[in-house]
Structure 1
Amino acid sequence: MKVLHCIPNFSITTETFIYDQVVAIEQSGVQSAILTANRMNETSRPFDKVYLSPIKSVINERVTQALALRLQLLPYMIDYKTWARVIDEFKPDVIHCHTGNAVKIWMHVSDKLGIKIPTLASLHGSDVNSEPLIRPKYRAVLAAAGKKDFIQWTVPSEFLKHKTTLNLSVPAAKIKVVHNAFNPMFLSEKAKVTFDNLRIISVGRFINCKGHQFLIDAFSILLPQFPDATLTLVGGGALEEQLKAQVQQLGMSEQVHFIDKVEHVKLPSLLASHNVYVQPSIRDEVTFQEESFGVAALEAMATGLPTVVSDCGGLTELAGLTNTAAVKVAEQKNAKSIAAAISHLFENRATLTETERAEVGHLFSSEMNTAAILESYSSLIS
């Protein structure tokens, strides 16, 4: 079997789960190639067979992106000749589109070239619960794709499956839930949790839907009870200065630490040096973004860290899939609820047991994820 992976930007730093999946599929024996418009992180994300088909540039990258996405001129900017050459040369049995924008590109190519190749469309989050609501033509193209008989779909959670049927009109029968996998290095790095001082950590871009402002407020509520507590925020992003100003206004600059970037291989040990993980995500009322699954929270659970998640999107589903008292669900946008959940876990010295960590490792293993994707490929070409 030969699979051509369509990934618009290969590989974005935050899309580790996509890169890991493609590598695992290749290692399973499936001959794989990647077609991308933009090659990124080539040293840290190597892959043998990568075809480049850039979107036609207009003036500069910013103008090009605006024309392609905001003004919906993408069909006129695709290099169809390169697509035709790659398909003729590689002769894929399956096209695997990673993200909604990949589906959109492939639909334009399929229509323009008049070809139909069995297709697996994998959606992950904002491509379902945000972009369809703010980009009408995007929604129309993906809704049309949902009616095509040669396309099947995967999403990482039941929450996102429901959103895909609601926002993109894709029939539920065509959608398979395939849980994201996480790197097993998080299982090998067992958190040696101590409860001398409260040490909270959260990992996620500093954007509105991640809800950091509510975690900072929750931390201010906890400080009188735990005066030696610390909070580490890992991510970087547009709201960093705003969040730092909030921390300074609350007089907590000595207790709250910001880290822009951490190499993925160093993240397990950083997590293991804390004793509570918090994912305080919210539904952004402007962009409509919600947490579709929560890989960062899953990685923290794998190290054994007690974990607080908000009742946002697929996070509650993630909490419900594991039988543990070390995961608490707090009300989103509610600092008091988040603080209470953190305090409960810390005071009860909660940690995931080895059995619970093994359960997490099994449910969300690369092997389970890869097997589900390979089964989807087989059903497409049978």
Structure 2
Amino acid sequence: MKKLAYVITQSEMGGAQKNILLLCQGLKSSYDITVYSGSGGDMIGILEGMNIKHKSIPNMVREISPINDYKAYKYLKKEFLKEKFDIVHSHSSKAGVLAREAAKRAMVNNIVYTAHGFVFNEPMSKLKQTIYKIAEKREAKFSDNIICVDPKDITIAKDLGIIPKRELAYIPNGISFESDNNNMTLKESDTFTFGLVANFYETKGHRYLIKAFKEVLKTYPKSELILIGEGILKKEMISLSDEEDRIKFLGYKKNGGELIKGFNCFTLSSVKEGFPFVILETIKQKVPIISTDVGAIRDILKNGKYGIVIEKASIKEMQKAMEYVINNYEEAKNKSIMAYNYCKKVYSLENMIDLTKKIYEN
């Protein structure tokens, strides 16, 4: 059985972590898998429940930190030399650089990297953008395969010369669509619930959503906004809400995907994404969607056919879309049903696993 290592910067749950967990579940019978990440997140406990080996990377931090980054690289290189992995598959930008550099030095046969939306597209200084672009271009030369979850990232990679040795592949995220689906109907007396499941980082755009919802409340006071997640900007966002009791901060929930079925409308406010798993989880529950135009959203929602797509970082656009859904809820529900029927065929878990396995066996 071939030995496979997954490497990711953080173990706090997010889309990239979800991708790894689903791959582990689908491939554990075919590969001897070990997952490497920073410590302290919920992904670690989930891996233990799946009987997948996990090792915490000392000194692994999210931001650029030369001393910590070098120590994390040295640890990974030592591990790869000792364990003699056949495949090292890294996710997220920091782990993508360190793990690929270490795998190259350890002479790993197949070095794979998944770009969950290139980091240099995030809000950051020009200097940081330049550093990340140079790093991505350099590490691509040592990568056998690069996977993009957003087809636009294929074009970006080619334009910037981020080309691996073998294949630059588009593999969309996928989930199992087998579960009870939400058939909730809105009663006139009910509170209209908007919601978002996302950790509080600048890229998730919570500030625009909160400001837009506060405007919605002026006309539609029987509304509420549910925010599920943790993160470094949570306190700032609570302050931004002005203690409005119709904006509820629920913290991290292990069953966040299931709680989506209690929303009347899911509101993705991100300013940067690759392919957000949470959109598929929302579609699985047949919940109407408002989303900013980021990452693969236009492909998933077919340019607004299956949900409302708005300009990112626009308070006014989000407000208008939220008010439109309140006033046209049956239309929004019909779109969500069409989205479900389309996505369960195109974005299946089986497709994601099969395409990834082909990359490993190339």
Give the Å deviation of 1:51: 6.1
Which residue does the alignment assign to 1:86? 83
Which residue does the alignment assign to 1:301? 283
Paired residue secondary structure (1:7): strand
Which residue does the alignment assign to 2:300? 318
- The whole-number CA distance in structure 1 between the counterparts of 2:155 and 2:266 is 28
Counterpart amino acid of residue 219 in structure 1: F
- Between the two proteins, the alignment pairs up a number of residues equal to 350
Structure 2 length-normalised TM:
0.83
Which residue does the alignment assign to 1:256? 247
1:6–1:102 CA contact under 8 A, matched in 2: no
Which residue does the alignment assign to 2:310? 330
Within-5 A mapping of 1:101-112: 101-112=94-105
Which residue does the alignment assign to 1:214? 208
1:165–1:171 CA contact under 8 A, matched in 2: no
1:278–1:297 CA contact under 8 A, matched in 2: no
CA shift digits 1:89-120 (9 cap, x unpaired): xx62x33233343442343334434x250232
- The whole-number CA distance in structure 1 between the counterparts of 2:315 and 2:12 is 32
Query: What CA RMSD, in Å, does the superposition of the two structures yield over aligned residues?
Result: 3.3
Within-5 A mapping of 1:215-364: 215-248=209-242, 253-264=244-255, 267-268=257-258, 270-282=259-271, 290-320=272-302, 323-324=305-306, 327-349=307-329, 350-351=332-333, 352=335, 354=337, 356-364=339-347
Give the Å deviation of 1:213: 1.5
Counterpart amino acid of residue 53 in structure 2: V
Q: Which runs of 5+ in 2 are unaligned?
A: none
1:193–1:305 CA contact under 8 A, matched in 2: no
Paired residue secondary structure (1:224): helix
- The whole-number CA distance in structure 1 between the counterparts of 2:127 and 2:296 is 19
Distance 1:173 1:217, change over 3 A: farther
CA shift digits 1:310-350 (9 cap, x unpaired): 123333333227853xx001122222211211222222222
Which residue does the alignment assign to 1:66? 65
Counterpart amino acid of residue 66 in structure 1: S
Q: Which has the higher mean CA deviation after the structures are superposed, 294-303 or 102-111?
A: 102-111
- The whole-number CA distance in structure 2 between the counterparts of 1:256 and 1:51 is 37
Give the Å deviation of 1:164: 3.1
Give the Å deviation of 1:241: 2.2
CA shift digits 1:17-48 (9 cap, x unpaired): 2211222122xx41231152546544332243
1:191–1:273 CA contact under 8 A, matched in 2: no
Distance 1:227 1:34, change over 3 A: same
Which residue does the alignment assign to 1:286? none
Structure number with greater Rg is 1
Give the Å deviation of 1:134: 1.6
Give the Å deviation of 1:295: 1.8
- The whole-number CA distance in structure 1 between the counterparts of 2:93 and 2:336 is 37
Q: Which has the higher mean CA deviation after the structures are superposed, 229-238 or 176-185?
A: 176-185
2:137 to 143, 163, 185: 143
CA shift digits 1:132-163 (9 cap, x unpaired): 96276664453233234x60111111122233
Which residue does the alignment assign to 1:179? 172
Which residue does the alignment assign to 1:285? none
Give the Å deviation of 1:205: 1.4
Counterpart amino acid of residue 210 in structure 2: I
- The whole-number CA distance in structure 1 between the counterparts of 2:344 and 2:352 is 11
Structure 1 length-normalised TM:
0.79
- The whole-number CA distance in structure 1 between the counterparts of 2:54 and 2:311 is 45
1:129–1:167 CA contact under 8 A, matched in 2: no
Give the Å deviation of 1:365: 1.6
- The whole-number CA distance in structure 1 between the counterparts of 2:54 and 2:249 is 37
Which residue does the alignment assign to 1:159? 152
2:196–2:226 CA contact under 8 A, matched in 1: yes
1:124–1:156 CA contact under 8 A, matched in 2: yes
